[in-house]
Chains A and B, each alone.
Chain A
Amino acid sequence: KNQVEQSPQSLIILEGKNCTLQCNYTVSPFSNLRWYKQDTGRGPVSLTIMTFSENTKSNGRYTATLDADTKQSSLHITASQLSDSASYICVVSAHRGNNRLAFGKGNQVVVIP
Chain B
Amino acid sequence: NAGVTQTPKFQVLKTGQSMTLQCAQDMNHNSMYWYRQDPGMGLRLIYYSASEGTTDKGEVPNGYNVSRLNKREFSLRLESAAPSQTSVYFCASSELSRAGNSPLHFGNGTRLTVT
**Is A46 a contact of B42 with CB atoms below 8 Å?**
no
- In the assembled complex, the CB of B112 is this many whole angstroms from the nearest CB of chain A, namely 14
**Is B42 a contact of A105 with CB atoms below 8 Å?**
yes
**Is A46 a contact of B48 with CB atoms below 8 Å?**
no
Q: Which of A4, A100, A106 contacts B99 (CB 8 A)?
A: A100
**Is A42 a contact of B103 with CB atoms below 8 Å?**
no
Complex Cα distance A41/B109, Å?
8
Q: Which of A42, A101, A106 contacts B100 (CB 8 A)?
A: A101
**Is B99 a contact of A89 with CB atoms below 8 Å?**
no
The count of chain A contact residues (Cβ–Cβ below 8 Å) is: 25
Interface digits, B6-42 against A, CB 8 Å rule (1 contact, 0 not)? Answer: 0000000000000000000000000000000000111
Interface of A is mostly: strand
**Is B56 a contact of A99 with CB atoms below 8 Å?**
yes
- What residue in chain B is nearest A47 (Cβ atoms)? B103
**Is A42 a contact of B108 with CB atoms below 8 Å?**
yes
**Is B103 a contact of A43 with CB atoms below 8 Å?**
no
Contacts of B101 in A (CB 8 A): 31-32, 93
- What residue in chain A is nearest B91 (Cβ atoms)? A43
- What residue in chain A is nearest B103 (Cβ atoms)? A46
- What residue in chain A is nearest B98 (Cβ atoms)? A99
**Is B50 a contact of A99 with CB atoms below 8 Å?**
yes
- In the assembled complex, the CB of A23 is this many whole angstroms from the nearest CB of chain B, namely 12
Residues of chain B touching chain A, judged by Cβ–Cβ distance below 8 Å, are 4, 40-45, 48, 50, 56, 58-59, 90, 92, 97-101, 103-109
